[in-house]
Chains A and B, each alone.
Chain A
Amino acid sequence: MSSFGVVRATLMKDLRMEWRSKDAINSMLFFSLLVVVIFSFAFNPTAEESRLIAGGLIWVAFLFAAVVALNQTWARELRNQVLDAYRVSPAPPHALFIAKALGNFLFVMVLEILMAPLFVVFYQLRSIGPVWQLVVVALLGTWALVVNGTFFAAMSIRTRNREIMLPLILFPISIPALLAMVDATTMILTGDGTPDFWLKMLLVYDVIFTSVCLLLFESVLNAE
């Protein structure tokens, strides 16, 4: 049984289902849009002030929006108890986790690509540091959010209040990654120092949590 084949089949299936329902992407887009507009009108920041607060604002908005997609991921597998069909098959559990994490990563990246121009317009953002570093922060930071989010969403699917449980578990464990993402983004936008330390920290965070999630996922999948 090829893990790569199972990852690809599961990912394509999830993308097809999302394309048809648009449940996750619509919810994430509306939520992020509201955050951008409301904060813009509430604070009405200058370009200089925006550079200082945008890092926090952007990543908190994406973190909250990502939770919507993360809850959807496993909700689909619970309807009609489809997850049981996967569990009785010889397909490796880690392939399911990787496919789900990759799917969520793509959904959140699409959201970020769509929302980035709006942040620029509403907050008059002009980066003083190199823009390519923002892309690196976005890639590493988004993976940090979705890898833990996918894992903890799987853990909370059998709990009664899973929509509440997920943020309660996910947000505290995401604090180091969020701190790195916010500080790196602020440094790049303001041009005040280099974000190397925070980027390395994000990379280490990603490697550690991806490994731990992969190791523990089979137990989570088969938990009663």
Chain B
Amino acid sequence: MTGTSDSPTQPVIVLQNLVKFFGRFAALRDISDSFAPGRLYVVVGDNGAGKSTLLRVIAGLMQPSQGSVTLLGSESVREVASRIGYMGHAPLLYDELSGLENLRYFAGLYGLHDDGVCNRAMRQVGLDPDLERRVGQYSQGMRQRLSVARAVLHDPELMLLDEPFSNVDVHSAQDMAAILGRVRDQGKTIFVVTHQAPLMEAVADEFVQMSAGKIVSRQLMTRSAQPVGSVTGGQ
């Protein structure tokens, strides 16, 4: 772990009156909520519910129209950027480079210049670091795995993952869900946006339901995938 949030009880993410407009359309509507460290949150909801927008606003890729986001105790995402890992809906990888070349470049952006880090990250997601094939020739499942490796490369405390299982076969998706569970067990906080909620039932700590730009419910889970309670509203 590269560090921890300032205290074990301090929320990793605090959202206050978060609003995001695209023109006149409100993608996020006055969201206020907080998320504890060391847990795996699964954000679910219909298309257009605001899941990906919420993730992009948290990651600092979009500015909220109103409200604020506090990450790891800081209101400036740039200040804590090295403690956050983000995986977008697209793979965020260069097709013309091999898997290892991609990871080497992104590791350099975090000040990591040790090939061992890249090799470890690739092995962690079940990829061979010696594979010389370019990413453009990878299968969709391999790309998604490499994308996860890129997001965890710098050992972030908070991981934000947008649809990590899209276009991935069931077996690979189950493997990836298990990997995420192991990463959470190391004390990381993981925020996963997905349409394939059943895949995460075995490892999720909490399901966050979004609808029409709002968090409408939060359902706590046991590790045996049984819901143990819910909090409605999220405000």
A21 contact set on B, CB distance < 8 A: 96
CA A3 to CA B89, docked complex, whole Å: 28
CA A222 to CA B60, docked complex, whole Å: 9
| Given A90-B109, A91-B109, A82:B94 Cβ within 8 A | yes
| Given A6-B109, A90-B110, A80:B61 Cβ within 8 A | no
B88 contact set on A, CB distance < 8 A: 81, 84-85
Number of contact residues on B: which range applies? 20 to 34
B61 x A87 contact (CB < 8 A): yes
Whether A89 sits at the interface, judged by CB under 8 Å, is: yes
Whether A76 sits at the interface, judged by CB under 8 Å, is: yes
Number of contact residues on A: which range applies? 20 to 34
Interface of A is mostly: helix
Q: Which of B100-108, B169-177, B223-231 contacts A (4 or more CB under 8 A)?
A: B100-108
Q: Which of A12-20, A27-35, A187-195 contacts B (4 or more CB under 8 A)?
A: A12-20
Whether B92 sits at the interface, judged by CB under 8 Å, is: yes
Q: What 1/0 flags go to A1-26 for Cβ under 8 Å of B? A: 11001100110010011001100000
Interface of B is mostly: loop
Closest A residue to B78 by CB, please name it. Answer: A90
A90 contact set on B, CB distance < 8 A: 78, 81-82, 109-111
B90 contact set on A, CB distance < 8 A: 80-81, 84
Whether B93 sits at the interface, judged by CB under 8 Å, is: yes
CA A73 to CA B125, docked complex, whole Å: 31
B93 contact set on A, CB distance < 8 A: 80, 82, 85
B61 x A9 contact (CB < 8 A): no
A86 contact set on B, CB distance < 8 A: 109
Nearest 3 pairs of A and B residues by beta carbon: A9-B108, A81-B90, A90-B81
Q: Which residues of B contact A (CB under 8 A)?
A: 59-63, 77-78, 81-82, 84, 86, 88-97, 101, 105-106, 108-111, 113, 150
Q: Which residues of A contact B (CB under 8 A)?
A: 1-2, 5-6, 9-10, 13, 16-17, 20-21, 76, 79-82, 84-91, 222, 224
